[in-house]
Amino acid sequence: MAKAKAVESKEKKQAAEALPEVPAPRPRLLVHYEQVVRPKLMKEFGFTNPHQVPRLVKIVLNVGVGEAPRVPKLLDAVVEELAAITGQRPVVTRAKKAIANFSLRAGMPIGATVTLRGWRMWEFLDRFINIAVPRIRDFRGFSTKSFDGRGNYSLGIKEQMIFPEIDYDKVEKIHGMDITIVTTAGRDDLALALLRELGMPFRGVAPVVVG
């Protein structure tokens, strides 16, 4: 009996190993960048090498929780929400120095942050642009003045409820977040062109619809 079970277990293992692994589909927005955006920007800016075309490096999401030292469950909720939104476990940020007026000591938790790279970065940006942003009330486009002079872009979101991963009934408190998109552009005009072609809606700039 034991021998028969061992043979059966071995056969199942061999069958599982024989099945070919199905590769995960590449992020839609990454494919669009490679097939459409990169060639277009090469032509528009006169680049001679594809590696000259600006690309995304990382996306950083940051939430400050001023009440965290007094109400720890608020920070716990933010950590869980960021994990749901990004698919990645956040890192708790801590005060670097004491601030007596706020009864804050160095090392106290004050928020949470997530840094996305690779496929998760592309998947998040796609969901953000095409699912979350359309849910922003009275939205008229992001400002073109929020670049940092080096081709990186920062924006603020007033409430986390725009993300469909958030369950309204489980929300401890409505809060905003800062999102920074880091690129290799080095120049704001290049970064604007890159983000626009990826579908980012800017105020006063004709939108690009990513098919």
Residue 196's Cα: distance from chain center in Å? 17
Tell me the CA distances in angstroms from 190 to 39, 41, 42, 108, 177, one per residue in order: 14, 9, 11, 39, 25
pLDDT band at 8 (very low <50, low <70, confident <90, very high): low
Q: Please, what are the domains in the chain?
A: 55-197 (3.30.1440.10)
* Model pLDDT for residues 53-93, shown as the tens digit of each residue: 999 999 999 997 766 556 556 788 889 999 999 999 998 87
Tell me the CA distances in angstroms from 55 to 38, 104, 128, 187, 195, one per residue in order: 9, 39, 18, 12, 9
* Model pLDDT for residues 11-27, shown as the tens digit of each residue: 555 555 555 566 778 99
- Identify the residue with better confidence: 210 or 95: 210
